[in-house]
Amino acid sequence: MRKETVPIINKLGLHARAAAKVVHAANQYDSEIFIGTDDEEVNAKSILGLLTLAATQGTSVQIRTDGQDEEEAMSAMVALFKNRFGEDE
């Protein structure tokens, strides 16, 4: 199992389109992928759960991957957050 904490740096935070991107990326991997804040942890392969986090710019989230391809899954997730989900700001 791998764990990493990443800040949310894009302006809109983990909003609907960003969440959809996370779900899409997470579903490329067999590993279980979870994203959590201080209070809650949700399954990254499901959009409903991700949206309940309502994580805004400036907050940090914990990513946890567990499974055969956990390393690849983790780098893909971290890259997505660092890349501001492909958004300009």
Partner 1 sequence: MKYPAPMPVRRLIRAGELAGLDFEVLAGEAGIESREIKNPRIQKPGLALAGFAPYIKGGRLQIVGASEYAYLETLEEPERFQRWKGLIDAGIPAIISAKGIRPTEAVLRHCEDRGVPFILTRCATSVVISTVSLFLERELAPTVQIHGVLMDVFSMGTLIVGDAGIGKSECALELVIRGHRLVADDIVVVRHTHGEGLVGVPHRHLENFLELRGVGIIDVQKHFGMTASSPSVRISLVVQLVKLSEAARLKEKEWREQLMTSPQPWTETRDILGTKVPQFTMAVAPGRDVAVMVETAVRKCLLAARGVDDERAFLERVNRRAGGTGARPKEPDDG
Contact 50, 23 (CB under 8 A): yes
Residues 51, 59: Cα–Cα separation, whole Å: 14
Indicate the residue among 8 and 23 with the shorter CB distance to partner 1.
Answer: 23
Neighbours of 12 (CB within 10 A): 15
Considering the rule CB under 8 A, would residue 28 count as an interface residue with partner 1?
Answer: no
- Selecting among 2, 15, 21, 84, the annotated active-site residue is 15
15 catalytic, yes or no?
yes
Which residues carry out catalysis? Answer: 15
Residues engaged in binding partner 1 (CB under 8 A) = 26-27, 32, 39-43, 45-49, 51-52, 54
